[in-house]
Amino acid sequence: MTDTGRQAVAVGVLVSGNGTNLQSIIDRIESGELLARVACVISNKADAFALERARRHSIPAIHLDHRQHQNREAYDAALVDALKSHGVELVVLAGFMRILTPVIIDAFPNRIMNIHPALLPAFPGLHAQQQALDYGVKVSGCTVHFVDAGCDTGPIIIQAVVPVVEGDTEDSLSRRIHKEEHRIYPEAIQLYAKRRLTIEGRCVRIAPAD
């Protein structure tokens, strides 16, 4: 027990790629800024560098291959089993490139978070940074939200804004957004860990700090 007697929230992180958001979460936990522990990291891709990041911190790193399952529901049921067997309370999607079915959403009601590299509801789905550039917006950013059955439609927890500057490419804008992702994702998890989040309709209310 830490922090006025609260137990660290057991987080399961789902990844498909590099895992810089996973790294920022691990770093904040290790520095004592985030009252959580990463109970497991699960990837649908064997070569996701995020799995290696987990191993380096002695976190269970699990490859669960979607191609070994008959359909999305069967895969999600396997995810639920793995998450529950590691005692996960909060599921954190960090670059997990799969659409979730109700099998996992209903198993963790209002306990799945995602980060999206745009200011939702603008530019949901893939290539959000390029969508923003193509549209010609002058600011973009990132959004942490709870996951519901839609695509990037769940209640918004935190957003951060970055400028779009002349000459930006998908890469340069993504890098600027990523810095903010690394700041707000641990913050959102910390708000959850401190039991400060409640959902009213599609609005997330944030209780004042103790």
**Annotated catalytic residue within 86, 116, 145, 182:** 116
Cα dihedral 94, 100, 102, 108 in deg (nearest 10): -10
Q: How far is the CB of 99 from ligand GRF (least distance, A)?
A: 12
Long-range contacts of 59-65 (CB under 8 A, 24+ apart): 59/26, 60/86
Kindly state the smallest distance separating residue 158's Cβ from ligand GRF, in Å.
13
One of 10, 18, 80, 155 touching ligand GRF (CB under 6 A)? 18
Q: Please tell me whether residue 19 binds ligand GRF under the rule CB under 6 A.
A: yes
Q: Is 17 in the site for ligand GRF (CB under 6 A)?
A: yes
Return the number of the residue (26 or 35) whose C-beta is nearest ligand GRF. Answer: 26
Does residue 94 interact with ligand GRF by CB under 6 A? Answer: yes
44 binds ligand GRF (CB under 6 A): no
Best CA proximity match to 48, nearest among 30, 61, 67, 29: 61
- Torsion angle (degrees, nearest 10) of CA 71, 74, 76, 79: -130
Question: b/e map of 48-85 (b: 16 or more CB within 10 Å)?
Answer: bbbbebbeeeebebbebebeebeeeeebbbbbbebbee
For 116: left if phi > 0, alpha if psi spans -120 to 50, otherwise beta; the answer is beta
The region of 28-36, 74-82, 109-117, 159-167 touching ligand GRF under the rule CB under 6 A is 109-117
Give 161 or 207: the residue with its C-beta nearer to ligand GRF: 161
Cβ 174 to ligand GRF, closest distance in Å?
7
3-state SS assignment for residue 13 = strand
Q: Is 63 a catalytic residue?
A: no
Closer Cβ to ligand GRF, 70 or 184, answer by number: 184
**Of 112, 115, 156, 162, which one interacts with ligand GRF (CB under 6 A)?**
115
Give the interface size with ligand GRF as a residue count (CB under 6 A): 12
Could you give the maximum distance between any two Cα atoms of the chain, in Å?
50
Interface with ligand GRF, residue 117, by CB under 6 A: yes
Structure token digits, residue 122: 């603008």
- With contact defined as beta carbons under 8 Å apart, do 65 and 44 qualify? yes
Active site residues: 116
Sites of contact with ligand GRF (CB under 6 A): 17-21, 94-95, 115-117, 142, 181
